[in-house]
Chain A
Amino acid sequence: MPKRTLKRFFEPRSVAVIGASATAGRPGRVVIENMRANGYDGDIYPVNPRGGRLLGLKVVKAIDELPRGIDLAIVILPAQATPQAVRDCAARKIGSIVLVAGGFAEVDHAGEHLQAELARAADETGVRVLGPNTAGHISTPANFTSSFFPLGEIPRGGISYVAQTGNFTGAMMKHIMSAENYGVARCIGLGNTIDIDETDVFEFLATDKHTKAIFFYLESLRRPQRFIEIAKRVTSEKPVILLKGGATPEGAKAAQSHTASMASDDRILDGALNQAGVVRIDEFSHLFLAAKGVAPMPVPAGNRVGFVSPSGAFIVHINDLCRQRLSLNFPDLKSETMERLKEISPPFIRLSNPVDIFPSATVHGMEFAYREAMEAVLKDPNVDAIVSIMILTRELGMPALDFIPKLAKKYRRKPIYISFSGDQACNEEAKAFLEPRGVPTFPLIEDAFKALDVLVRARKSLKK
């Protein structure tokens, strides 16, 4: 029997919260508050043997008193009670269940036993189960979350995260919400994956029109062959970026050949991911940097970067970084572009790409110099993307920055990333102005280039 799709998880029309709680701060209450904060408008059925009312909702006393055919149940009970809860939900024709409880195979032997019992319950009843030991999931297109981490309203956007950690629907989501200005579509903490695994979710996200880019944090791959099959299709449509943690120790293999003795699991996985167009990253922070870069901007058409810098030191350093570690390069600019850059610069300046903008800024002011130089470089057909580092201080006077979103609109096929050097308060002011207007900013100068590099690597397999 083919397994049910994950549609009910991501688009539930009605939800039961098994183990709802009236006590402030308890997961059984926070989960309902989170749904409310995100404008979830399906029916919510809290379940607790005490009955009564909770957040204006009537509390149902037992699972078997629930109406039949609720789309999704979130089970927030002690581990021992979950196998029975799964069977009870199945008896009420609830086909999709999020299991929040921990205390299974991740803890001890008894937990392992309990997890096996749980897996049997899921298998025998045919329900789809997310977890156990998960912080839940998020689906902003459905105004929905099963997270019990106090989140409030989650910003909407095109980024989807699939993680073998609850972080992306908990603390990490809080970080994104408070430190960044991009939004998410679907986020899933996989937990102990007794049923739903990364490949199931991948399959759903592959055709999900709300998902613009998919980010994975994984420590293992349950069905690597199927994962790669899906990846081959998806990576021509949207960027797939993956961080795989926990390199497994190389098993001693009975190898007669050199090849077999060199064939570690990680090397073969690396090759398979590459072949399928998945961009493998090795820094956790890039799960945010690349998301921030791609959320409001197109994926660059190629690796040719125009770089407008206020300092020779940045030019030297970033040149080194790009040459040694990244796949970006700084192309020669067209003669028309060079002409325009000369017009806006003092006569003694030697110009090239990267563009040293400081001399022009001292003569014409920041706003004029950056605006004209950035437009000239954006117009250049040799350039796929542009990074500008701006010097912002009160003493120099904050330039008006509205020219940057305007340029982004005008040259919508080329990403514009902004970085800063100068007064932190000014940087934050600029970020607060630019990011809600669709221009990502990167306080550390390398980060803009590292984010761009990840997306350039994704470009290789994308259809135009």
Chain B
Amino acid sequence: MQIDAAKRLVAKSVKAGQGALSEFDSKRFLSAYGVPITRERLVNSEKDARAAAERLGYPVVLKGCAHDLLHKTEAGLVMVGLGSSKEVANAFRELKARAGSDFGGRFLVQEMVKGDRELMIGMTRDEQFGPSVMFGLGGIFTEILEDVVFRLAPLSLSDAREMMSEIRSTKILNSVRGMARVNQPMLARAIVAVGKAAVDNPDIAEIDINPLIVSGSHPVAVDGLVILKPSKSA
């Protein structure tokens, strides 16, 4: 997806009265701005789910995916570590049952990214300062350690680099305990991209990329959420 198409996606979703983009759309959108994301396929049937898993390679993750599904894990709509076509099929039936008959979304088959380091990038609009980009520790540590820093958008690459060295746990980006050093230029570009996405799209209220898992040395957005401002006509 190109940036123009990404902007249109946001505009269209606002017009449709959506409060957020689905995970699939959020990540396509972020990817257009240069955030590395997981390989994934949106599917609607067991057969398509199995075919997608075959193409992506095992293990895979299966998730419910809809623009009004903000908390997938809490809703029980995430199954990880699916290692075979049969497991994918079982998981699909299970999730479909859990989602219920009034579930309007689809399902996302996703490569399962391995990595012990979870980071996050986010954006919120401050009343005083406008779009503000956050970077810090992700996953369950975001709220526990509160190790995050902010910069105002738009950001320069050197702003992003400063953020990376400013978190208390900055050493997590080095090569530690046999893990590779994080590809820092790539991470910096992803942070800058989130700022640009916010400046380009005033209809976006908040962005969460959490977790951004470090796979080998590459940061990859494993989950993404783009929250929209309420549409003016609604």
Contact = CB atoms under 8 A, between A and B. Distances in A.
Given A228-B129, A256-B227, A259-B124, A267 B206 contact: no
Interface string B136-170: 10000011001011111001000100110010000
Contacts of B192: none
A42 B62 CA distance: 80
A271 B135 CA distance: 11
B159 A259 contact: no
Given A257-B227, A274-B151, A263 B126 contact: yes
Shortest 5 CB-CB contacts between residues of A and residues of B: A259-B122, A271-B150, A257-B206, A260-B124, A257-B208
Contacts of B208: 257-259
B123 interface: yes
Contacts of A274: 149, 151, 162, 166
A262 interface: yes
B56 interface: no
Given A228-B152, A255-B206, A268-B152, 20 more contacts: A225-B129, A259-B122, A259-B134, A259-B207, A262-B122, A263-B124, A263-B126, A263-B134, A268-B128, A268-B129, A270-B149, A270-B150, A271-B132, A271-B149, A271-B151, A271-B152, A271-B163, A272-B150, A272-B152, A275-B151
Interface string B101-144: 00000000000000000001011101011101010100000110
B91 interface: no
Interface footprint category on A: 20 to 34
Given A257-B206, A258-B143, A267-B148, A272 B129 contact: yes
Contacts of B163: 271
B201 to A, nearest CB: 15
B210 A258 contact: yes
Contact of B120 (A258, A267, A270): A258
Interface string A266-297: 01111110110000000000000000000000
Contacts of A269: 129
A275 B152 contact: yes
Contacts of B122: 257-260, 262
B126 to A, nearest CB: 5
B75 to A, nearest CB: 15
Contact of B128 (A224, A256, A258, A260): A224
Contacts of A362: none
Contact of A256 (B70, B142, B143, B159): B70
A272 B150 CA distance: 7
B152 A262 contact: no
Interface of B: 20, 70, 120, 122-124, 126, 128-130, 132, 134, 136, 142-143, 146, 148-152, 155, 159, 162-163, 166, 206-208, 210, 225, 227
A261 B123 CA distance: 11
Contacts of B152: 228, 268, 271-272, 275
In this complex, the member of A224, A228, A255, A275 whose beta carbon has the largest number of chain B beta carbons within 10 angstroms is A275
Contacts of A263: 124, 126, 132, 134, 150
A256 B20 CA distance: 10
Contacts of B20: 256
A450 to B, nearest CB: 19
Contact of B206 (A256, A268, A270): A256
Nearest to B123: A259
Given A256-B206, A258-B210, A262-B148, A275 B159 contact: yes
Contacts of A256: 20, 70, 206, 227
Contacts of A225: 128-130
A262 B149 contact: no
A257 B151 contact: no
Contacts of A272: 129, 132, 150-152
A282 to B, nearest CB: 15
Interface string A242-259: 000000000000011111
A464 to B, nearest CB: 17
Contacts of B124: 255, 257, 259-260, 263
A263 B206 CA distance: 11
A208 to B, nearest CB: 26
A261 B136 CA distance: 13
A274 B206 CA distance: 22
B126 A268 contact: yes
Nearest to B209: A259
Contacts of A255: 124, 206
A215 to B, nearest CB: 23
A257 B125 CA distance: 11
Contacts of B146: 262
Nearest to B122: A259
B149 A267 contact: yes
Interface string A189-224: 000000000000000000000000000000000001
Nearest to A262: B148
B48 to A, nearest CB: 30
12 contacts: A225-B128, A225-B130, A258-B210, A260-B122, A260-B124, A262-B136, A263-B124, A263-B134, A265-B126, A268-B128, A272-B132, A275-B162
Interface in A101-142: none
Given A268-B150, A271-B132, A271-B149, A257 B207 contact: yes
B231 to A, nearest CB: 16
Contacts of B130: 225
A224 B150 CA distance: 15
Contacts of B150: 263, 267-268, 270-272
B142 A262 contact: yes
Contact of A261 (B70, B126, B143, B151): B143
A259 B206 contact: yes
A228 B143 CA distance: 28
A225 B132 CA distance: 12
